[in-house]
């Protein structure tokens, strides 16, 4: 018979295993949805165990009505936001939700610090706590959660504002030095705070000073970073939130909270490294170099060529009688909500015997996996979504490449222009195809703020207009042929 004190541990084990299995399943497009449900089930089990089980067996936690009311309210708000959000705004919502996770971890640190200080053996008349000491491990968990969670919250809010266009890129003179000084000040203040606590000279001004400096660091950490680097910053902030949550697991001796935090932190870190690799840049270069902003590149045509505009009728003929077509989706596809009509075009071409595939760049869109989710929403077969490292060798044998709203990820300057801010970033080598058609609203530069030499390639034709309207024209023209 299982002892009553083991029920909570068993529930936490089930939750932890569900997190691991769910995360593994999320690594593949065809199982990602089920993986999300498995992880959600694990979280539900963990929450139930925290509310109703403890070392003595079944036990309802203190302040139960308030906790249930908060969970209910948050569930309603989160569900409404998730249902209403457009795919183009998904990165913003991810950043905002991640910030809420960081704020929660910081609040846990604040609450637990007050709990620990309330356990002090005495307090003087002027409010100074006396005869009080705190183990270094406990203090380290509290202050780490406080600092990292606050930085994650402040940085995520700025990232949210930058993604929806409400906040621009701001760089101060000697930005790297200022960041380093603020970070050093946070660490120094934390060390001084711990010394003050254990010497009896305790003051909450240290604690609030740490919070204030962490907010400042979170702001100046993300403010200068923009453009093509924002997906990297989002995944890095996500790993920060995971680490901050893990510190809460240490404080509460909660195994599932610790496991969840470690998984989020490690997954976010791995994703950050993968994305940096996809951009052929180091994380230090992203954070300290602060490239990728709108002011980093040139908006002039360096190739000296001219733009060739094409019409939907010509493109439809070209694609219908091609043997192989590769579609390159980008943020413009998401903005126009053109994924469904794009899938319709794919089906029409396949009925004509054309081999159609989608080329997916790791950092296409505004977050990792953005294009995969967008196309999966329109029921595009998963095996047609081909990653960059596998599709690049096929462009040379491709008759037509249809670039829908992508810009920086197909820019040849990444290979040819050492002065370009995206130089060295691996790209989809669409310039190797026999014919290239780019669907774009205008000649405006992409997210990295640099002009695209591909548009001036003699093999490239520009079909201007809204992506959804342009693809709809292509669908109608193919049907009419």
CA distance 90 to 102: 18
114: in domain: yes
How many other C-beta atoms are found inside a 10 Å radius of the C-beta of residue 3? Answer: 8
**Residues 172 and 212 both lie in one domain:** yes
Cα distances (Å, whole numbers) of residue 266 to 87, 151, 241, 269, 271: 26, 18, 11, 5, 9
306: in domain: no
pLDDT at 143 over 90: yes
* CA dihedral of residues 343, 347, 353, 359 (deg, nearest 10): 20
User: How do 355-360 and 324-329 pair as beta strands?
Assistant: parallel
305: in domain: no
353: in domain: yes
User: Phi, psi at residue 440, to the nearest 5°?
Assistant: -155, 145
- Going by C-beta distance under 8 Å and a sequence separation of 6 or more, which residues neighbour residue 415? 423, 427
Q: Mean pLDDT throughout 112-125?
A: 68
Instruction: Give the pair of three-digit tokens for residue 151.
Output: 């930085």
pTM: 0.79
CB 395 within 8 A of CB 459: no
**Residues 385 and 329 both lie in one domain:** yes
**Residues 262 and 390 both lie in one domain:** no
Burial of 47 (0-12, 13-18, 19+ CB in 10 A): middle
CA distance 12 to 34: 20
Three-state SS at 436:
strand
**End residue of a domain, out of 289, 322, 347:** 289
CB 290 within 8 A of CB 221: no
- Going by C-beta distance under 8 Å and a sequence separation of 6 or more, which residues neighbour residue 77? none
**Residues 269 and 393 both lie in one domain:** no
Catalytic residue among 169, 229, 408, 453: 408
pLDDT at 207 over 70: yes
290-299, 307-316, 347-356: which range is least confident on average?
A: 290-299
In terms of DSSP H, where are the helices of 200-330? 204-222, 230-252, 255-278, 283-284, 312-320
**Residues 72 and 94 both lie in one domain:** no
- Taking the mean position of all CA atoms in its chain, how far away is CA 268? 8
- Is the sign of the CA dihedral 84, 86, 90, 93 positive or negative? negative
Instruction: Give the pair of three-digit tokens for residue 296.
Output: 């980093």
pLDDT at 303 over 70: no
CA distance 288 to 232: 13
CA distance 225 to 216: 15
- Is the sign of the CA dihedral 361, 290, 241, 68 positive or negative? negative
297: in domain: no
Read off the DSSP letter of residue 60. Answer: P
Cα distances (Å, whole numbers) of residue 320 to 33, 48, 384: 34, 57, 18
**Residues 41 and 157 both lie in one domain:** no
CB 162 within 8 A of CB 230: yes
Does residue 297 or residue 16 have the better pLDDT? 16
Read off the DSSP letter of residue 309. Answer: B
Q: How confident is the model at residue 41 (pLDDT cuts 50, 70, 90)?
A: very high
**Residues 350 and 464 both lie in one domain:** yes
CA distance 344 to 322: 17
CA distance 368 to 266: 16
218: in domain: yes
In terms of DSSP H, where are the helices of 119-163? 136-163
CB 460 within 8 A of CB 454: yes
pLDDT at 77 over 80: yes
Three-state SS at 130:
strand
Read off the DSSP letter of residue 393. Answer: G
Q: How confident is the model at residue 287 (pLDDT cuts 50, 70, 90)?
A: low
**Residues 133 and 232 both lie in one domain:** yes
Residue 293 is predicted with a pLDDT of 43
Structural domain that includes position 221: 90-289
CA distance 451 to 463: 17
CA distance 472 to 336: 12
**Residues 278 and 209 both lie in one domain:** yes
Residue 477 is predicted with a pLDDT of 94
Q: How confident is the model at residue 479 (pLDDT cuts 50, 70, 90)?
A: very high
Instruction: Give the CATH number of the domain where residue 371 resides.
Output: 3.40.50.1220
pLDDT at 73 over 50: yes
**Residues 323 and 220 both lie in one domain:** no
- 67-101 burial, b if ≥16 CB within 10 A, otherwise e? eeeeeeeeeeeeeeeeeeeebbbbbbbbbbbbbbb
Q: State pLDDT tens for residues 210-235.
A: 999 999 999 988 888 765 677 788 88
Q: State pLDDT tens for residues 365-394.
A: 767 777 887 888 788 888 899 989 899 999
Of residues 195, 194, 189, 221, the one with CA closest to residue 208: 189
**End residue of a domain, out of 23, 49, 84:** 84
User: Phi, psi at residue 71, to the nearest 5°?
Assistant: -65, -45
Residue 297 is predicted with a pLDDT of 41
Burial of 203 (0-12, 13-18, 19+ CB in 10 A): middle
Residue 317 is predicted with a pLDDT of 94
State how many domains the chain has.
3
Q: Is 169 a catalytic residue?
A: no
What angle, 0 to 180 degrees and rounded to 10, lies between the N-to-C axes of helices 90-118 and 204-222? 170
**Residues 266 and 325 both lie in one domain:** no
**Residues 261 and 347 both lie in one domain:** no
**End residue of a domain, out of 57, 84, 111:** 84
CA distance 213 to 132: 25
Instruction: Give the pair of three-digit tokens for residue 13.
Output: 């084990």
């Amino acid at each position: 018979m299982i002892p009553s004190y083991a029920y909570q541990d068993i529930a936490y084990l089930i939750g932890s295993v569900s997190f691991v299995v769910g995360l593994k399943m999320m690594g593949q497009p065809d199982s990602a949805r089920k993986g999300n449900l498995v992880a959600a089930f694990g979280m539900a089990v963990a929450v139930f165990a925290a509310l109703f089980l403890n070392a003595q067996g079944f036990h309802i936690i203190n302040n139960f009505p308030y906790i249930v009311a908060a969970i209910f309210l948050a569930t309603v708000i989160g569900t409404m936001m998730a249902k209403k959000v457009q795919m183009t705004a998904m990165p913003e919502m991810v950043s905002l939700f991640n910030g809420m996770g960081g704020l929660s971890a910081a609040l846990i640190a604040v609450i637990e610090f007050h709990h620990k200080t309330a356990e002090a053996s005495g307090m003087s008349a002027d409010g100074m706590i006396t005869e009080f000491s705190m183990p270094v491990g406990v203090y380290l968990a509290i202050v780490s959660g406080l600092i990292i969670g606050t930085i994650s919250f402040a940085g995520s809010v700025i990232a949210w504002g930058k993604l929806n266009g409400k906040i621009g890129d701001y760089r101060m003179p000697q930005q790297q030095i200022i960041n380093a000084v603020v970070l050093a000040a946070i660490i120094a203040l934390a060390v001084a705070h711990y010394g003050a606590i254990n010497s009896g000279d305790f003051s909450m001004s240290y604690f609030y000073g740490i919070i204030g400096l962490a907010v400042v660091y979170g702001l100046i950490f993300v403010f200068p970073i923009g453009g093509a680097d924002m997906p990297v910053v989002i995944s890095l902030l996500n790993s920060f939130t995971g680490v901050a949550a893990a510190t809460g697991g240490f404080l509460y001796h909660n195994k599932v909270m610790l496991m969840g935090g470690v998984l989020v932190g490690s997954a976010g870190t791995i994703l950050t490294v993968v994305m940096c690799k996809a951009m052929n840049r180091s994380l230090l270069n992203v954070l300290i170099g602060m490239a990728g902003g709108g002011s980093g590149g040139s908006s002039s045509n360096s190739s000296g060529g001219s733009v060739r505009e094409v019409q939907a009728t010509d493109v439809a003929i070209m694609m219908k009688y091609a043997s192989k077509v590769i579609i390159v989706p980008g943020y413009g596809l998401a903005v126009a909500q053109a994924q469904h009509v794009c899938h319709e075009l794919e089906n029409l071409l396949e009925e004509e015997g054309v081999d159609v595939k989608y080329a997916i760049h790791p950092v296409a869109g505004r977050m990792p996996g953005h294009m995969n989710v967008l196309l999966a929403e329109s029921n595009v077969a998963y095996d047609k979504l081909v990653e960059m490292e596998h599709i690049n060798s096929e462009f040379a044998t491709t008759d037509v490449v249809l670039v829908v709203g992508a810009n920086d990820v197909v820019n040849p300057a990444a290979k040819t222009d050492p002065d370009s801010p995206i130089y060295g970033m691996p790209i989809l080598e669409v310039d190797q195809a026999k014919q290239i058609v780019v669907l774009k609203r205008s000649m405006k530069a992409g997210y990295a703020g640099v002009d695209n030499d591909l548009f001036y390639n003699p093999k490239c034709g520009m079909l201007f207009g809204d992506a959804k309207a342009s693809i709809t024209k292509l669908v109608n023209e193919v049907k009419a042929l």
